[in-house]
Structure 1
Amino acid sequence: MSKGKGKRLNKKQIAEMLQTLFQQNPNETFSLKQIFKALKFDTHPVKMMAVDLMDQMAWDDFLTKASDNSYRLNLKTQVQEGTFIRKANGKNSFQPDDGGKPIFVSERNSMFALNGDRVKVAMMARRERHIKEAMVVEILSHKMDQAVGKLKVEKDYAFLVTEGNIFVHDILIPKKKLKGGKTGEKAVVKITQWPSKDSKNIVGEVIDVLGKEGDNNVEMHAILAQYGLPYKYPKQVEEAAEKIEPGITPEEISRREDFREVFTCTIDPKDAKDFDDALSFRPIANGKYEVGVHIADVSHYVKEGSIIDKEAVKRATSVYLVDRTIPMLPERLCNFICSLRPDEEKLCYSVIFTLDEEANVKSYHIAHTVIKSNRRYAYEEVQDILMGKDGDYANELRTLDRLAKKLREKRFKGGAVKFDREELHFDIDENGKPVRAYFKKSNDATQLIEEFMLLANRTVAESIGKAKKPAGKGQPSKAKTLPYRIHDQPDPTKLETLREFVVKFGYKMKTSGTKGAISRSLNTLMEDCQGKKEQKLIETVALRAMMKAKYSTHNIGHYGLAFEYYTHFTSPIRRYPDTMVHRLLTKYQDGGRSANQEKYEELCEHCSDMEQVAQQAERDSIKYKMVEFMEDKIGNEYDAHISGIQSYGIYCEIDENHCEGMVPMRDLDDDYYDFDERNYCLVGRRHHHKYQLGDAVRIKVARANLEKRQLDFTIAD
């Protein structure tokens, strides 16, 4: 048996050659003669071993025996479509469309696919061991056609160096396509040529030079461009917004319910400019109250199919980076015309409730309205008033707070899950540099607004989703199409892992029974671990068991809120699904037929995807500011706790400022540590020292890499 210079082929080599032949030709049937010729199997022992191996591959369902002496790839079980996931550490994987487990793809079998690309893969015959592996046989579509990075300009050529190994190779740029970019500048590059069998190079052209690395605006724009998010508003869309008439005609007012004389206020963060919700309040007869939830009537100004609407669909959401908002709508609309600014008449779409002292909804109606806000409050002002300080309309605010607390209590009794997660915020100076890092916690003022928004969203969803029963004996009418905000039940396997995990700390938890019983058990667990050493640890593990909320026209309810019907109605300035809901509600109130479900389901999927992308960009901006905040603190020591554990190291969060960094495994040099994934810990082989999620540690700041948005710590001696 020979290969090259007389080297004998072994069984493993023959198997790999056969696999490659069939995978690279997934639609062809090969006779034994063709196989032997293609692979230059020219000795009897090699041919016999190849036949044995092919029989085994057919037994394993990797191949199909087309006849006594011919084989082809078993496309039924071996070829799948899905998403390619590229990892910087080379552990790439393929996520099948059917939602099955990710399958490993080695670099040599990746066809240079990029992260997020849609690919077709062939399953590889299993090796002697059990690892399941796939090989990319076709790239169906690329997720992105642009990249962000740093330019390197040489005498005869230039290229873009990208962070995070998104691309296997740097992107070549012809000198005439540089758009004036210089070495060291950050740029956005459009890819014009992908890798192929003939060339491994990726070729591109510069579409925008962002500027010098380290400049705050450049870095924020780079984060947005990296996710394909816009960092400037198209001129023609802004021009269209300038032409919108902001005035409200007497005819328009006559078509609406008038709330201009009723006490109305907005309550928002102190730096907010886009006020899209307001509350009105007045006592009415028999100890009842009328509470109006008034939402900016964006769909009155933004017509479906208009240039502004098309841009809003594309964006689907506003993006909130640490130091700026990238709005879904042009500034003239979101901060001026639609924004519910004090002492200005504004058009709204409203849900008006009649509530009793126990916050029971006695009646409600949904109507187009006109309002005039009496007062714009920041959350801090309202919180002071609720704590007893004097202030404008103090009695009204305190009554609203009392009703909100009753609504909240009922929600948790009904099985809503209680996760009060803290959010990291920064105080920023005029150059965009962070000067303080702190956690923002929810309080009575934020919860007051939250409860009335939840009530409005739920009520709107029920008004359409609950099938109306006819007066006679007929069948209930079918619910009309509406985008819902849905949240599935937790993953049962992850719930069971959580139960097994908390038992070690002496806690009990239900993982079976009704939805309400499980969520009440979760809430009890959250309450019982409050203030304990293991609190953060248990909260983190519990959150991992939760599914992600998303948009869909197929309603399955919202598990986390314990609502059978829930939608997003209250933020049309910053979320496109809310605008869709406003339009459909108006159509249905005017007697219109049910909208095309397929069209709206596609829009829901797009909005869910864009929400995820926006969240990733927001997280990256937080990471960048975190590193920037810590870069002058190298060598400082801090008390911290372990906030995450991976096979490559431990994440630690500083107690004082909540900045998170990683202690790489290579710096844990006192022992060799094994990763115990089930128990969220690292265990030393020799000394059995354990690093567990939630443990207190003393760390030293070792490195702050702004380019990689990465903080490295070491364990302090």
Structure 2
Amino acid sequence: MNKNKQHPKHVDTTEMTGMIRINSRGFGYVDIEGRDEDIEIAPELLNTALHRDIVKIVPKPKRRAGRIRGEVLEIVERAKTRFVGVLEEEQGFVFFKPDDKRCYIDFIIERGEKDIPFGQKVAVELTRWTSPKKNPLAKIVEVLGPVGTHETAMHSIVAEQGFDWNFPHEVEREAETIERNNEEFFAKEVARRRDFRGVPTFTIDPADAKDFDDAISVQTLENGHIEIGVHIADVSAYLEAESPMDKEAQKRGTSIYLVDRTIPMLPEALSNNLCSLIPHQDRLGFSAVFEISLEGEVYSHWFGEVVLHSDRRFSYQDAQEILTAGEGEFFAELKTADTIARALREKRFTKGSIGFETDEIKFELDKTGRPIHAFRKERLDTMKMIEDLMLLANREVATWIANENEKKQSKGVFVWRVHDSPKADRIQELSLFLRALGYTLPHKDGLVNAQDLNALFKEIEGTPEQEMIETATIRSMAKAIYTTKNIGHFGLAFDYYTHFTSPIRRYPDVMVHRIVKSHLAGKPLHGAQAFAWHDRMCTKSSEREVAAMEAERDSIKLKQVEYLEQHIGEEFDGVITGINDWGIFVEEHGTMAEGLVRTSSLRDDFYELTDHGFRLVGTKNKKTLSLGDKVRVKLKGVDIERKTIDWELVNKQ
């Protein structure tokens, strides 16, 4: 928080409801809708609240150290009841110790459990916790495997976020039935669909992709215009609403992408076969087809059900090599698509779209799952090309729905992907952060425009602090969510936006396909019941998206720590990415792994926190350690279970 910000001494003590975030020290922070400040909850006032629970709180009448403090009165809704950890016996009781250190208390396993799996990683279900003075009760629901193995670690990460590894038997049986009956079903569908099988069509995906959600077709029309088809797997043709498989997809909400595998939203019979746009196979699609100029001007669009045939499966690298060489299979189509995508991108940025581009870290694993090589994933032009064509489809579908609703003067149900403008206090904090690094971000009363953010990104391009500033800026933004109430998309500068292009891996896209089909059939969804159901699904999908991202980050962090464990005692170059009372956080360049240099290990002086928490200064030698400083660090050690890294400062560069 900005410590210079002036606040009224007394605060509103009305009861409020919001989601609580708990850190590893046991302090909670509650975000209240419509308020710029969060409310801090001391550990002794959590009243059984756990991380991401929805809680009812009451603020204290007076601020302390500039902050609003509060107390939890009631748990409105648990974020989750399943936790992962290990079991220990003490004084005749079996205690469950959670892996997640934000879970600040041990659970007691209910009596009656037999064959207690000590030494194994387990998942437990929280069954009762009525008083903060007592330990919660839990029961064992799954044994995940022996501690310390790669398979157990991956299972644990997925279970921790509330996802199931396997599909229920009834869902697998439903998938098998669909697969068995597909030949007859497919023949009937082909007869009534627009046929794109004669148009040059291909997919472009990561080299290790198993499911192919989208393909593009490119052809020049007689009038000289270009026809670009964005063809999407027609999942909703196979996924019957409210069937066991559909309910399982609702529950999962999304596929999960771990370092070495995908946990799919749909069974493999659909995700990797029937729905996937596999090369040299006829498939059912739901398409957005555009008549468009090379300058990105859309003359007309068509949305509808198709049958298509992918002529080739490109990896991003394959397609990039052809574009770079200026020759190869489908070069003309790739070049045309790239030219249009570049024009669309330029229009988007001119209008105010924000250019977020962050690096990804990838690992090469041995047969036991141990990382043997870490590398940054290169951001290729072909990735940007596909991204902009998907953005086009998503935007145009959403705009068409908005126009349809306006034309019919009706409030039809739709699933929007919205992104609110950032809160004023977050922008003020970001501005302070940037000032400490020598950069400025123009803003007025906490309001910032996209052009100034893009100018900042251009200024920091290629600097050591680029990644840190981009990450800090992303964190200052509101989270994009799914909702039935449109407010536009701040980050993309779109008035209307949705997710239409990935129904194999995102349930909101399935909902969007069904709604668009209802409009095409002249029967758009209306009414309070439809809105209420889609509202619930939007909330659930947004929550599952966050959980899947946390699982992905946890799997990456684990491999970063495992990789560095092999290099203890070695020195690395890094940059200071954070500072607090107990240390400085340093991100190592090669693996993008962040670890801590403890203040207590800085033995040449006593260091104090200054400049809004962005600098440590030695009280005697006046040596400074500031956010963004390049440093040399030595790896002291790692903790695999906690996924933490300890550095020792060698010198400031």
Instruction: Tell me the TM-score normalized by structure 1.
Output: 0.83
CA deviations over 1:658-708 (Å, ceiling 9, x no partner): 222221232233333333464733333333322222211001111111110
Cα pair 1:352 1:364 within 8 Å, conserved: yes
Alignment of 1:472-551 (within 5 A): 477-499=409-431, 502=434, 509-512=441-444, 518-551=449-482
**Which shifted more, 490-499 or 382-391?**
490-499
Q: Between Structure 1 and Structure 2, whose CA radius of gyration is higher?
A: 1
State the Cα distance separating 1:418 from its structure 2 match. Answer: 1.0
CA shift digits 1:79-135 (9 cap, x unpaired): 333344433313334444654633333333333332233333344454898764333
Partner of 1:307: 244
Residue aligned with 2:190, SS: helix
Pick closer, same or farther for the CA change 1:538–1:678 going to 2, 3 Å: farther
Partner of 1:33: none
One-letter code aligned to 1:189: V
Q: Is the 8 A contact 2:437 2:627 kept in 1?
A: no
> Are 2:45 and 1:109 equivalent residues in the alignment?
yes
Give the partner amino acid of 2:244.
Answer: I
* Overall identity of the aligned pairs, in %: 38
Contact 1:148/1:189, CA 8 A, preserved across alignment = yes
1:170 aligns with 2:106: yes
Cα deviation, residue 212, structure 1: 0.9
Q: In structure 2, what is the equivalent of residue 641 of structure 1?
A: 575
Is contact 1:153–1:182 with CA below 8 Å preserved after alignment? Answer: no
1:192 equivalent among 119, 127, 135: 127
**Deviates further, 454-463 or 140-149:** 140-149
TM-fit CA distance, 1:295: 0.1
Shift, 1:401, TM fit: 1.3
CA 1:94/1:586 → structure 2, altered by over 3 Å: closer, same or farther? closer
Q: Which residue of 1 aligns with 2:507?
A: 576
Question: Secondary structure at the residue paired with 1:566?
Answer: coil
Partner residue of 1:285 out of 222, 225, 233: 222
Measure the CA separation in 2 of the matches of 1:336 and 1:191: 38
Tell me which residue corresponds to 1:158: 94
Cα-to-partner distance string for 1:10-56 (whole Å, 9 max, x where unaligned): xxxxxxxxxxxxxxxxxxxxxxxxxxxxxxxxxxxxxxxxxxxxxxx
Shift of 1:154: 6.0
1:468-501 superposed Cα distances (whole Å, 9 cap, x missing partner): 676xxxxx72452211111112333443454566
- Give the CA deviation at 1:323: 1.2
Q: Which runs of 5+ in 1 are unaligned?
A: 1-59, 63-75, 471-475
Structure 1 residue aligned with 2:597, among 651, 660, 663?
A: 663
1:84 touches 1:95 (CA, 8 Å); kept in 2?
yes
What corresponds to 2:560 in structure 1?
626
Amino acid at match of 1:355: I
User: Structure 1's 690 and 299: CA in aligned 2 closer, same or farther, altered over 3 A?
Assistant: same
Between 1:152-161 and 1:427-436, the stretch displaced more is: 152-161
Determine the C-alpha separation between the residues in 1 that align with 2:477 and 2:17: 27
Distance in 2 between residues matched to 1:464 and 1:657, nearest whole Å:
44
Tell me which moved more, 284-293 or 106-115: 106-115
User: Whole-Å Cα distance in 2 between the matches of residues 294 and 143 of structure 1?
Assistant: 36
Q: 1:513 to 1:227 in 2, by over 3 A?
A: closer
Checking the alignment, whether the CA contact within 8 Å between 1:487 and 1:560 is kept in structure 2 is yes
Cα distance between partner residues in 2 of 1:220 and 1:433: 12
Aligned pairs (5 A) from 1:186-585 = 186-196=121-131, 200-244=134-178, 245-247=181-183, 248-388=185-325, 390-466=327-403, 477-499=409-431, 502=434, 509-512=441-444, 518-585=449-516
1-structure distance, mates of 2:524, 2:67: 53
TM-superposed deviation, 1:283: 1.3
Matching residue's letter, 2:129: W
Q: Which amino acid is 2:237 matched to?
A: H
CA contact 2:203–2:212 (8 Å) conserved in 1: yes
How big is each residue's C-alpha offset from its partner over 1:522-544, in whole Å with a ceiling of 9 and x where there is no partner?
Answer: 21221122223443444344333
Q: CA deviation at 1:560?
A: 1.2
Residues 381, 150 of structure 1: CA spacing in aligned structure 2 closer, same or farther, 3 A cutoff? Answer: same
C-alpha separation between the residues in 2 aligned to 1:694 and 1:128?
A: 30
C-alpha deviation, 1:656, in angstroms: 2.8
Q: Which runs of 5+ in 2 are unaligned?
A: 1-8
- Supply the distance in 1 between the matched residues of 2:319 and 2:382 (Cα, whole angstroms): 6
Deviation string 1:152-186 (CA, Å, 9 cap, x unpaired) is: 246843221223444444222246314x3432211
Q: Tell me: CA distance 1:638–1:166, structure 2 relative to 1, closer, same or farther (3 Å).
A: closer
Q: CA offsets, 1:259-308, max 9 Å, x none?
A: 11111101100110100100011111232211100000000000111110
Instruction: Return the alpha-carbon distance in structure 2 between the equivalents of residues 89 and 310 of structure 1.
Output: 37
C-alpha contact (below 8 Å) 2:59/2:70 kept by paired residues: yes
Are 1:181 and 1:209, in contact at CA under 8 Å, matched by a contact in 2? no
Gap change, CA 1:669 and 1:92, over 3 Å in 2: farther
Conserved? CA contact 2:415–2:534, under 8 Å: yes
In 2, are the aligned partners of 1:181 and 1:187 still within 8 Å (CA)? no
Please tell me the residue identity of whatever aligns with 2:427: L
What SS is found at the alignment partner of 2:44?
helix
Q: SS where residue 400 of structure 1 aligns? A: helix
Counterpart of 1:414, as a letter, is K
Q: Tell which deviates more after alignment, 119-128 or 429-438.
A: 119-128
Query: How far apart are residue 404 of structure 1 and its match?
Result: 1.3
Once the two structures are superposed, the pairs formed by residues 86-165 of structure 1 within 5 Å of their partners are 86-96=22-32, 99=35, 101-124=37-60, 126=62, 132-153=68-89, 156-165=92-101
Q: Deviations over 1:375-433 (max 9, x none)?
A: 01111101111111643222221221122111111111121111111111112222221
Distance 1:223 1:322, change over 3 A: same
Q: Is the 8 A contact 1:661 1:711 kept in 2?
A: yes
**Pair 1:612–1:99, CA change in 2 (3 A):** farther
Q: Deviations over 1:317-341 (max 9, x none)?
A: 1111111111111111100010000
Contact 1:501 1:679 in 2 (8 A): no
Contact 1:536–1:694 (Cα < 8 Å) also in 2: no
Instruction: State whether residues 570 and 635 of structure 2, in contact with CA within 8 Å, keep that contact through their aligned partners in structure 1.
Output: yes
Displacement of 1:640 after TM fit?
A: 1.3
Does residue 705 of structure 1 match 2:610?
no
Higher mean displacement: 531-540 or 651-660: 531-540
Per the alignment, do residues 164 and 356 of structure 1 end up closer, same or farther by CA in structure 2, a change over 3 Å counting?
closer
Mapped contact 2:48–2:129 kept (Cα < 8 A): no
Amino acid at match of 1:594: L
CA drift at 1:193: 2.8
TM-score with structure 2 setting the length: 0.91
3-state SS of 1:149 partner? strand
Deviation at 1:657? 3.0
Count of aligned pairs:
637
RMSD over equivalenced CA pairs, Å: 2.7
Give, in whole Å, the separation in 1 of the partners of 2:231 and 2:361. 29
Question: CA distance change for structure 1 residues 542 and 125 in 2, over 3 Å: closer, same or farther?
Answer: closer
The 2-side partners of 1:509 and 1:86 are apart by: 30
Displacement after TM superposition at 1:513 (Å): 11
User: How far is the alpha carbon of 1:514 from its aligned partner?
Assistant: 14
What is the identity, as a one-letter code, of the residue corresponding to 1:563? F
